[in-house]
Amino acid sequence: MPQPASPPYDAAARRHLARADPALARVIGEVGPIRFVHRRERFPALVRAIIFQQLAGAAAAAILARFVRAVGGDRFPTPAQVLAASDETLRAAGLSRGKIAYLRDLAGHVRDGSINFHRFPKMDDEEIIEHLTAVNGIGRWTAEMFLMFNLLRPDVLPVGDLGVRNAAGLLYGMPKAPTPGELRELGERWRPFRSAASWYLWQSLRIVTPDSAVSASPTSRKKAKK
């Protein structure tokens, strides 16, 4: 199993964000260095993202495991194997008709070279997003997560992510979560490390602060003691 590690931009990002944003500096002080699992795979990562859409984690993992066994055997299926697999085989693994179509579309884009992972290092973030979202079943958020966690791009801000927006609203004392446009404007101070800022915003939702402990209900405090 891959272990969490710091991305190459970690130290520079923490220095920049701490200088640029006092509120985020406090989160960085609480959380420490950036650490997440770097997913090096390309095609498998996108297949996994499609299969996991709108499913609980355990159910999606079971379907993914059946899909891999049925189509690839002891290895993750190649695009050619996905295209060659029958609908019956894919449905037996638990895939819906829609997801079968999405996986075939992805495999076709990779096979015909319209998505060429070897070219990605020379492409900017928006070019990659444009290529990935040309596939049915891959939206902007999925493409952004791929940029952040598979390609380790340092300056991605997923303004459509509710977790990031809710965290920003709480951190900056807003009456409600910022809109995507408001978050984009707020994030200008974080460039060129908006991926790091997003990661710290996600982490900030897990921090228990003294004021949140005081404001907790008696019932929740009793549960916490247990």
Q: Is 161 a catalytic residue?
A: yes
Whether residue 73 is predicted with pLDDT greater than 60 in this model: the reply is yes
Query: What pLDDT, on a 0 to 100 scale, did the predictor assign at position 222?
Result: 40
pLDDT digits (tens, 9 = 90+) for 53-68: 988 789 999 999 999 9
Give residue 226's pLDDT: 37
Asked if 136 and 105 count as a contact pair (C-beta separation under 8 A), the reply is yes
Least confident window among 99-108, 138-147, 160-169, 213-222:
213-222
108, with CB counted inside 10 A (0-12, 13-18, 19+), is middle
- Domain ranges for the chain: 10-37+154-210, 43-149
CB distance 95 to 63 below 8 Å: yes
Collect all residues with Cβ–Cβ distance below 8 Å to 190 and sequence separation of at least 6. Answer: 16, 17, 20, 21, 24, 157, 196, 197
pLDDT more than 70, % of the chain: 91
Categorize the per-residue pLDDT at 1 as very low, low, confident or very high, splitting at 50, 70 and 90.
low
* Strand, coil or helix: 5: strand
| pLDDT classification of 3: cutoffs 50, 70, 90 | confident
pLDDT score at 208: 52
- Residue 136 one-letter amino acid: N
Q: Do domains 10-37+154-210 and 43-149 have the same CATH topology?
A: no
Q: Who contacts 110 (Cβ-Cβ below 8 Å, separation ≥6)?
A: 43, 79, 117
Per the residue annotation, which of 21, 125, 155, 161 is the catalytic one? Answer: 161
Preceding amide of 192 cis, omega within 30: yes
pLDDT digit string, tens, across residues 136-162:
999 999 999 999 999 999 999 999 999
DSSP annotation of 21 reads: -
Residue 103 to residue 139: CA distance in whole angstroms: 14
Which CATH number among 3.30.9.10, 1.10.1670.40, 3.50.50.60, 3.10.450.50 corresponds to the domain 10-37+154-210?
A: 1.10.1670.40
CA distance 137 to 205: 29
pLDDT of 212 strictly over 80: no
Percent of the chain topping pLDDT 90: 85
Tokens of 54: 């709108």
Give the pLDDT score at 162.
Answer: 94
The continuous run of DSSP H or E covering 22 comes out as: helix 22-31
> Would you say residue 202 has pLDDT above 50?
yes
Q: For the domain bounded by 43-149, which CATH number is listed? A: 1.10.340.30
Cβ count near 41 (within 10 Å): 12
The DSSP symbol for 179 reads P
